[in-house]
Amino acid sequence: MKHLSVLTAACLAATPVLAQDSSDPIKLTLHDWSGQLITTTLMGEVLKEAGNNVEYVQADYIAQFAGLKTGDLHLAMEIWETTGREALDEAVGSGSVVNMGQTGMMAIEEWWYPAYMEERCPGLPDWKALNDCAQEFATVETAPLGRYLGGPVTWGGFDEERVEALEMDFEVVHAGTDAALFAELEAAYQRQDPIVLWVYAPHWAPAKYEGSFVAFPPYSAACYNDASVGMNPEAAYDCGKPTGPIWKAAWAGLPDQWPNAAKVVDNFKISNEDMGAMVADADLNGKSVEEVVAAWMAENEATWKSWIAQ
Amino acid sequence: MQRLQRHITGARLFWLFLFAATWALSQYSFQIYKALDARWIIRFPKKYQLSLDDVISGFLDWLVNIANFWLFTFRDLTRAIAWVIEIPYQFLRNLLIEGFQTGLGDAAVQIAPSLSWVAVIAIVISVGHTARDWGLAALVGACFLYLAVFGQWDSAMVTLASVLVAVPIAAVSGLLLGILAYRMLWVEKLLRPILDLMQTVPVFAYLVPVLILFGFGPVAALIATVIYAMPPMIRVTIVALKGVPGELLEAARMMGATPRQMTWKVLVPAATPMLMVGVNQVIMLTLNMVIIASMIGAGGLGFEVLASLRKLDIGGGIEAGLAIVLMAIALDRTSQAFSERRLWRQRTGNLMQRHPWSMIVILVILATFLMGLVIPAVQSYPDAWIISTGAFWSQAMEWINVTFFDTLEVIKTALLRGVLLPVKKFFVGIPWLWGILVTGLIAWQVAGWKLGVVAALMMGFIAASGLWDKAMVTLYLCGVSVFIALLIGTPLGIWAAQQPRAGRVILGLMDTLQTLPSFVYLIPVVMLFRVGDFSAMIAVVLYALAPAVRYAAHGIREVPLHLLEAGKMAGCRPLQLLWRVKLPLATPQLLLGLNQTIMLALSMLVITALVGTRDLGQEVYIALTKANAGQGIVAGLSVAFIAIIADRIVNALSDNQKRRLSL
């Protein structure tokens, strides 16, 4: 961040007049989940208000880094600490991508169960109660162990380690994608079948289905790194998952070419609650992303105007 | 006794022994490892593992950042190619959806709007009528009307623009390469392994390099599409040209045709029906790529499907998926009709009489443009008229889920316990060293020692890359799926050939299955069968069914009439005719179908990784999500090697059969 502002300062110094943004369009990346579309559209609309030209480009979440490095793409609005940090760090390390700071949203990820399971497993959301009725969650492939549906392997999450460390009677099965993960939840919810799976927020699922996150022993960095910390003195990961910020990332040339826009991007902040409400509006109430964003902008004019003014 | 002895030939003994030994080793490999305390029996030793992925990643870095040919860098070259392809693409996009304008953002000035939806439909109807008749015109028009009515118009036009660029590029370059391979033996020899790689290295594996080289956005997606869609065209061209009767060539030669005339006036026209099978495949595969292309910036219908399914809006996914299918049908039928059109009638009279359709279309375009200025509904289809079936599909899915889940669960459990798990255990248990040896032996027995050595080396590469276990899971999943696909597909194909009316329905269904993005049915499959191998298998079977059916039908239909007559004269009953005459003669085609079924099953692997399997497809997918080009290519090569070994063995079987039939 520091040398970023140095760069900006160098630019300012080189040009006697106030730095002018290029009139070329800033290319923002769109992925395939509504939250990200909303964040990006909101950013784009605010940038338009600030006088910039923007263009939205469809891109894969991870593959986009190739484009950000070369300057084919300019701005990515949602890089999740939990799933994208590795790629982001690698890209920042190459020197062609800069981390534009946090979006203000925090990613929550944890084991999650639908509300109807509370009857069958008294004591939930405590993880010990979950473990006591692991049998309920067993399927042909996993019996006698319970079946926990984890996220795609690439999301990490240390679930195998957690099961091992907490000596839980569960087998971790990985869904291939986000869509497959929630498809199973939808199906099980319709049948009121037992299911415990990886759910994250901000997302429409916790808004659509009634249920709760499992309460594991609270996360601490020490618990992940130091085997002796936590209830199992011989193993790490004997606690819940951390929450992490969602980052903005940009092509390293962005602050030079669009210095004013870079400041607006830097100032962009939005809360989990606001985002959760917008996502639910789009995915569950069937509104378009543009409508949702326009409504938020009408209501919070002071907020986004302050991003431009600063 | 004598009868028994006649059956025990050397070859049969060899196969029996090979299977028994593999089974025994697979069953007891773990015990052997424990008894001898030699872990290397079941795991390739880590310290001898190749680290080719780093080398490949390094090479790509060099290629992208440093490589240059004095005047320009490699990247300049690829970017120039991208720029050339972008011109027609951008033009089509402007024409179909965006309209033409200058300037950016607030300063933008529109020069002309895009074609109105009415005009586009008028154009496709006129093309349909020109190509064949009013029937085709109505079909094509209805397909496009669907796009408007179901709210897919904008996305569909984006997809149409990229298809209209990708298909001609892939078809024409495929044809040219095929002709070259037909003319020069060394080109064919050189092309075969490249073709296998193009067709079997999963797209995800080269997506990252393509993006880096050709820049982000639709053009990179177009190039990946062309790479993916071209191979069948080349293959079919070679087969088709070789199938042109010798007498015809002889006659042309006697009339003194030059090589160029020979190619364009004799070979290509004579082979056109078969060539159109290739074009059909190119169109199907191009539309198949729509989903993956949308992941890297092509947008369009693929994006619509992905976004709907992420919301679990199954109805939306199906509507967008069907839009892809209908577009494929419209394009395919039109191209078929053009190829069958023999006579170009010369018309006389005034402009209107000579070119009635062109004139009508121009009038419609002008009229809708002018009316569009006043009535917006003429320019773009109004939102209020859009029909959505989303609620219906969600309810239907819920009903199936709640009503039939238990029944399906019983079937699934039986199949899992009876077939999938035992086969999996068999494949996963095979110790790598024996696996390499056995592959070599099979290849040697079927196709000679050269292939034996190559096959063993390829399997060795997989083991040395540390991917043996995943490769075995791949073999098991593909093996079971291909087997089931053939079990269902071959009889369907035979039926389709015997009964033309049923055939039309079946082949239409196959086209639908092949072009309907697998993602659309993957999600309902997961809802009913949960994440796991079973769901993956269903997806692979559904996808790989098409070639099994199509080639079986084609093979049966192509059996020479005089042989059928001879069979009938000899007093064959219809069933005997099928078993004794048609099937043996169709075997080469059936094997080609098997070959393609295997290829498609393997290419579906990455998609199954989206459900959650632990095979090579998953390895490729992991590499993509981590943008690790090297890892992706090594895993992709492993998939390709399996495919190549299978292809060579099946081809050798087909050749042996042809020799036996002296075809």
CATH code for the domain in which residue A124 is found: 3.40.190.100
The yes-or-no verdict on residue B577 having pLDDT over 90 is: no
Say yes or no for a CB contact (<8 Å) between A59 and B297. Answer: yes
Q: Could you report the per-residue pLDDT of B269-320, keeping only the tens digit for each?
A: 888 878 888 888 898 888 888 888 887 777 789 888 888 888 888 888 899 9
CA A90 to chain centre: 18
Say yes or no for a CB contact (<8 Å) between A66 and B413. Answer: no
Q: Compare CB distances from A60 to B296, B310, B608 and report the shortest one's residue.
A: B296
Residue B59: CB atoms within 10 Å: 15
| The pLDDT of residue A261 | 92
Residue B640: CB atoms within 10 Å: 24
Say yes or no for a CB contact (<8 Å) between A180 and B405. Answer: no
How many CA atoms lie less than 13 Å away from B64 in the CB half-sphere?
A: 19
User: Strand A97-114 vs strand A196-201: parallel, antiparallel, or unpaired?
Assistant: antiparallel
Residue B338: CB atoms within 10 Å: 14
- Closest CA of chain A from B304, distance in Å: 9
Task: Kindly identify which residue of chain A lies nearest to residue B398, measuring between CA atoms.
Answer: A190
**Interface mutation target, options A41, A45, A60, A195, chain B, most CBs of B under 10 Å:** A60
Chain B residues 70-99 within an 8 A CB cutoff of chain A? none
| The pLDDT of residue B6 | 64
B93 to B111, B165, B435, B579: CA distances (angstroms) = 15, 11, 51, 53
pLDDT bin (cut points 50, 70, 90) of residue A224 is confident
Helices and strands (H and E) in chain B: how many: 33, 4
Dig out the tokens for A239 from the structure.
């606690």
B424 vs B588 pLDDT, higher one = B424
**Interface mutation target, options B64, B75, B208, B625, chain A, most CBs of A under 10 Å:** B625
List the beta strands (DSSP E) in chain A: 26-30, 54-58, 75-80, 97-114, 146-150, 170-174, 196-201, 211-213, 244-251
Q: Which residues in chain A have their CB less than 8 angstroms from residue B417's CB?
A: 140
Chain B residues 169-208 within an 8 A CB cutoff of chain A? 207-208
**If DSSP states are collapsed to H, E and C, what string results for B468-483?**
HHHHHHHHHHHHHHHH
Split into its structural domains, chain A has a count of 2
Chain B residues 608-627 within an 8 A CB cutoff of chain A? 608-613, 618, 621-622, 624-627
Say yes or no for a CB contact (<8 Å) between A63 and B307. Answer: no
**If DSSP states are collapsed to H, E and C, what string results for B287-326?**
HHCHHHHHHCCCCHHHHHHHHHHHCCCHHHHHHHHHHHHH
- Which domains are assigned to chain B? 75-96+160-330 (1.10.3720.10), 116-149+343-383 (no CATH), 469-663 (1.10.3720.10)
In angstroms, the CA A110 to CA B335 distance is 52
| The pLDDT of residue A234 | 84
Task: Kindly identify which residue of chain B lies nearest to residue A31, measuring between CA atoms.
Answer: B295
Specify the DSSP class assigned to residue A155: G
| A120 shares its domain with A101 | no
Q: Which of A194, A225, A256 is the last residue of a domain?
A: A225
CB distance B458 to B445 below 8 Å: no
Say yes or no for a CB contact (<8 Å) between B626 and A180. Answer: no
Q: Compare CB distances from B216 to A59, A90, A191 and report the shortest one's residue.
A: A59
| A118 shares its domain with A221 | yes
Q: Could you report the per-residue pLDDT of A262-306, keeping only the tens digit for each?
A: 999 999 999 988 888 898 888 888 788 899 999 999 999 999 999
Beta bridge partners of A58: A30
Q: Compare CB distances from A57 to B107, B216, B532 and report the shortest one's residue.
A: B216
| A112 shares its domain with A197 | yes
In angstroms, the CA A7 to CA B34 distance is 62
| The pLDDT of residue B346 | 60
Chain B residues 501-560 within an 8 A CB cutoff of chain A? 519, 522-524, 526-528, 530-532
Specify the DSSP class assigned to residue A210: -
Structural Rg of chain A based on CA atoms:
22
Dig out the tokens for B406 from the structure.
């238990």
In angstroms, the CA B276 to CA B291 distance is 24
The answer to whether B157 faces chain A, any CB pair under 8 Å, is: no
Task: Kindly identify which residue of chain B lies nearest to residue A205, measuring between CA atoms.
Answer: B311
Compute the average pLDDT of residues B388-414: 88
In angstroms, the CA B592 to CA B615 distance is 25
**If DSSP states are collapsed to H, E and C, what string results for B11-40?**
HHHHHHHHHHHHHHHHHHHHHHHHHHCCHH
| A114 shares its domain with A127 | yes
- Closest CA of chain B from A186, distance in Å: 7
CB distance B493 to B601 below 8 Å: no
Q: Could you report the per-residue pLDDT of B117-171, keeping only the tens digit for each?
A: 888 998 999 888 888 889 999 999 999 999 999 989 999 999 999 999 999 999 9
Say yes or no for a CB contact (<8 Å) between A187 and B532. Answer: no
In angstroms, the CA A246 to CA A38 distance is 14
**Beta-carbon contacts below 8 Å between A and B:** 151
Among B614, B517, B594, B503, which Cα is nearest to B553's?
Answer: B503
| Residue that the structure tokens 């392809």 belong to | B85
Beta bridge partners of A97: A251
Chain B residues 314-353 within an 8 A CB cutoff of chain A? none
| The pLDDT of residue A77 | 94
Say yes or no for a CB contact (<8 Å) between A175 and B612. Answer: yes
Among A43, A67, A44, A42, which Cα is nearest to A54's?
Answer: A44
In angstroms, the CA B625 to CA B603 distance is 18
pLDDT bin (cut points 50, 70, 90) of residue A130 is very high
In angstroms, the CA B16 to CA B62 distance is 50
| A99 shares its domain with A121 | no
Handedness of CA B20, B25, B31, B35 (dihedral sign): positive
| The pLDDT of residue B441 | 92
In angstroms, the CA B192 to CA A30 distance is 39
Compute the average pLDDT of residues A58-84: 84
A82 part of a folded domain: yes
Amino acid found at B23: W
In angstroms, the CA A188 to CA A197 distance is 11
Q: Which residues in chain A have their CB less than 8 angstroms from residue B625's CB?
A: 61-62, 152, 154
A148 part of a folded domain: yes
| A101 shares its domain with A112 | no
Average pLDDT value for chain B: 85
Amino acid found at B196: D
Compute the average pLDDT of residues B206-234: 85
Helices A178-191 and B390-415: angle between axes, nearest 10 degrees: 90
Q: Compare CB distances from B296 to A34, A63, A179 and report the shortest one's residue.
A: A63
| A37 shares its domain with A70 | yes
| A96 shares its domain with A127 | no
Specify the DSSP class assigned to residue B95: I
A13 part of a folded domain: yes
Q: Compare CB distances from B627 to A57, A62, A190 and report the shortest one's residue.
A: A62
Q: Compare CB distances from A58 to B294, B618, B621 and report the shortest one's residue.
A: B294
The yes-or-no verdict on residue A45 having pLDDT over 90 is: yes
Dig out the tokens for B398 from the structure.
């819920």
- Closest CA of chain A from B302, distance in Å: 10
Q: Compare CB distances from A57 to B105, B217, B530 and report the shortest one's residue.
A: B217
CB distance A237 to A224 below 8 Å: yes
| A82 shares its domain with A160 | no
| The pLDDT of residue B246 | 85
Question: For the ranges B1-15, B76-90, B342-356, B395-409, which has the lowest average pLDDT?
Answer: B342-356
CB burial readout B296-324, b (16+ within 10 A) else e: bbbbbbbbbbbbbbbbbbbbbbbbbbbbb
DSSP-derived 3-state class of residue A126: strand
| A126 shares its domain with A218 | yes
Q: Which residues in chain B have their CB less than 8 angstroms from residue A179's CB?
A: 309-310, 312, 519, 523, 610
B521 vs B49 pLDDT, higher one = B521
CB distance A214 to A132 below 8 Å: no
Average pLDDT value for chain A: 86
Task: Kindly identify which residue of chain A lies nearest to residue B618, measuring between CA atoms.
Answer: A176
Interface confidence: ipTM more than 0.95 = no
CB distance B524 to B314 below 8 Å: yes
Q: Compare CB distances from A191 to B212, B402, B413 and report the shortest one's residue.
A: B402
| The pLDDT of residue A1 | 43
Q: Which residues in chain A have their CB less than 8 angstroms from residue B626's CB?
A: 62, 86-87, 154
Task: Kindly identify which residue of chain A lies nearest to residue B406, measuring between CA atoms.
Answer: A191
A134 part of a folded domain: yes
Give the domain range for residue A193. Answer: 107-225
Specify the DSSP class assigned to residue B267: I
- Closest CA of chain A from B546, distance in Å: 25
A159 part of a folded domain: yes
Structural Rg of chain B based on CA atoms:
27
Q: Compare CB distances from B104 to A53, A154, A186 and report the shortest one's residue.
A: A53
DSSP-derived 3-state class of residue B379: helix
| The pLDDT of residue B291 | 83
| The pLDDT of residue A4 | 47
How many CA atoms lie less than 13 Å away from B413 in the CB half-sphere?
A: 11
CB distance A212 to A288 below 8 Å: no
Dig out the tokens for B119 from the structure.
């005009």
Say yes or no for a CB contact (<8 Å) between A58 and B299. Answer: yes
The yes-or-no verdict on residue B488 having pLDDT over 50 is: yes
Could you please report the per-residue DSSP string of A76-92? EEEEEHHHHHHHHHHHH
Compute the average pLDDT of residues B236-262: 87
| A74 shares its domain with A116 | no
A21 part of a folded domain: yes
Q: Cis ω on the peptide bond leading into residue A245 (within 30° of 0)? A: no
| The pLDDT of residue A6 | 47
The answer to whether B216 faces chain A, any CB pair under 8 Å, is: yes
Q: Which residues in chain A have their CB less than 8 angstroms from residue B309's CB?
A: 179, 183
Q: Compare CB distances from B625 to A62, A72, A187 and report the shortest one's residue.
A: A62
Q: Which residues in chain B have their CB less than 8 angstroms from residue A180's CB?
A: 522-523, 526, 531, 610-612
**Interface mutation target, options B98, B212, B311, chain A, most CBs of A under 10 Å:** B311
Question: For the ranges A6-20, B231-245, B464-478, which has the lowest average pLDDT?
Answer: A6-20
Say yes or no for a CB contact (<8 Å) between A34 and B303. Answer: no
Q: Which residues in chain B have their CB less than 8 angstroms from residue A191's CB?
A: 401-402, 405
In angstroms, the CA B74 to CA B81 distance is 11
CATH code for the domain in which residue A293 is found: 3.40.190.10
Q: Cis ω on the peptide bond leading into residue B193 (within 30° of 0)? A: no
Question: What does chain B come to in residues?
Answer: 663
Q: Which residues in chain B have their CB less than 8 angstroms from residue A60's CB?
A: 207, 295-296, 624
A235 part of a folded domain: no
| The pLDDT of residue A310 | 67
Say yes or no for a CB contact (<8 Å) between B216 and A66. Answer: yes
Say yes or no for a CB contact (<8 Å) between A173 and B612. Answer: yes
Dig out the tokens for A5 from the structure.
């502002």
In angstroms, the CA B638 to CA B464 distance is 11
CB distance B401 to B395 below 8 Å: no
Contacts of A157 (CB under 8 A, 6+ apart): A82, A109, A150, A151, A198, A241
| A289 shares its domain with A207 | no
Among B93, B219, B99, B98, which Cα is nearest to B160's?
Answer: B93
Compute the average pLDDT of residues B338-359: 69
A300 part of a folded domain: yes
Q: What are phi and psi of A200, to 5 degrees?
A: -130, 160
| The pLDDT of residue A10 | 46
Among A119, A140, A142, which Cα is nearest to A129's?
Answer: A119
Say yes or no for a CB contact (<8 Å) between B626 and A62. Answer: yes
| The pLDDT of residue A11 | 45
DSSP-derived 3-state class of residue B110: strand
| The pLDDT of residue A3 | 52
